[in-house]
């Protein structure tokens, strides 16, 4: 299935917007997410606390659902690696491939992590700091990673390693088998295992394989008929997918599948926004076009936004804790994050060009 560049950027833009607001709001909201394990008490607390008339309803929604932007990046990682190496016919030499990707991740993370350490180093052990720079803390200190957001760097490095297996073993039944095993394991851990063990495993790649492998399959297979169906009937496909996703968020048996469902929703909406200029309602047309452009821009700086927002979150939380209005702090947080990310991304791209010639 071909996912064009603009659709990919819209998906990234929407996902990173959900993520960087979630990572602020879940520190302040009474509604807590079920990202690394399914907690029935959190579901009940959200349903009891959330009402559309409540002034905290937006905060609660981003806090509980905002983490679902993360699987979108996992999916696009699998899709992008497959397009870059398999479909382009490039030969992958494992050591240079892993070294190059590690350097890219390190150069993206390190400057902002060092700035973060200036403020938070006293609360972190030396082994934890070293393993975070090495991006292996997911294996040794999964629940102690700080900022917690940076668990994704270790996960991404694991995905780079895992992709080699599927690069050399390209039979799709091999992919389906791993996906099935991961889904079954996900349901098992969600239902039966102690929370601390499930959370530790979820900080690594095993239980996230379904969304990563979905990206590989999406790149390898022709799914244009399916996407054409979704695009033709989007007006009822979107609410149905939305309803299934929301229900799966609240059901322990379906929770493991919820990240896969949300991918379909992102794909349909990402594709559909490309037709915003064809909207039949003239008043909505410019809104749709500018919304699409805004998501595309956020998508272009999504890497920078992911890296810098935990640093700026420190000051936003301090301001909220100091008595400033949350709804004055949040717009400032959004603006500062976007400006900071744009600058950070630009510098990062210049450095990468020089280091990885």
Is residue 35 over pLDDT 90?
yes
Cα–Cα distance, 329 to 208 (Å, whole number): 33
pLDDT for position 280: 73
The confidence band for 121, taking pLDDT boundaries of 50, 70 and 90, is: confident
pLDDT for position 56: 83
Average pLDDT of span 25-36:
93
Return the percentage of the chain with pLDDT > 70, whole number: 99
Is residue 179 over pLDDT 90?
yes
Average pLDDT of span 34-43:
93
Is residue 90 over pLDDT 90?
no
Look at 231 and 124; give whichever has higher pLDDT: 124
Cα–Cα distance, 199 to 179 (Å, whole number): 19
User: Whole-model pTM?
Assistant: 0.95
Average pLDDT of span 213-235:
82
């Amino acid at each position: 299935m071909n996912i064009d560049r603009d659709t990919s950027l819209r998906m990234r833009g929407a996902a990173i917007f959900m993520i960087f607001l979630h990572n602020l709001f879940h520190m302040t909201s009474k509604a807590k997410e079920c990202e690394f394990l399914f907690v029935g008490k959190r579901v009940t607390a959200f349903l009891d606390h959330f009402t559309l008339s409540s002034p905290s309803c937006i905060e609660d929604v981003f806090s509980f659902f905002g983490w679902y932007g993360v699987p979108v990046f996992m999916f696009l990682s699998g899709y992008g690696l497959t397009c870059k190496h398999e479909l382009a016919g490039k030969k992958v030499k494992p050591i240079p491939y892993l070294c190059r990707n590690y350097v890219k991740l390190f150069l993206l993370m390190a400057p902002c992590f060092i700035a973060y350490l200036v403020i938070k180093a006293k609360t972190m052990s030396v082994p934890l700091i070293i393993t975070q720079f090495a991006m292996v803390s997911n294996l040794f200190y999964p629940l102690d990673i700080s900022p917690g957001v940076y668990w994704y760097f270790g996960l991404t490095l694991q995905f780079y390693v895992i992709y080699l297996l599927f690069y050399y073993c390209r039979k799709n039944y091999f992919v389906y088998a791993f996906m099935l095993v991961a889904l079954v394991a996900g349901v098992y851990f969600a239902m039966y295992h102690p929370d601390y063990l499930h959370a530790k495993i979820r900080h690594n790649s095993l239980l996230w394989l379904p969304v990563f492998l979905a990206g590989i399959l999406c790149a390898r297979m022709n799914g244009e008929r399916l996407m054409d169906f979704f695009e033709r009937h989007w007006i009822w496909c979107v609410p149905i997918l939305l309803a299934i996703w929301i229900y799966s968020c609240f059901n322990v048996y379906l929770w493991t599948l919820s990240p896969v469902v949300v991918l379909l929703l992102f794909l349909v909406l990402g594709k559909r926004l490309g037709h915003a200029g064809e909207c039949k309602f003239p008043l909505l047309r410019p809104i749709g076009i500018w919304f699409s452009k805004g998501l595309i821009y956020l998508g272009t700086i999504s890497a920078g936004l992911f890296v810098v927002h935990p640093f700026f979150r420190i000051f936003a939380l301090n301001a909220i804790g100091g008595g400033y209005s949350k709804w004055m702090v949040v717009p400032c947080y959004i603006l500062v994050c976007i400006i900071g990310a744009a600058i950070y991304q630009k510098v990062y791209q210049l450095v990468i060009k020089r280091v990885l010639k």
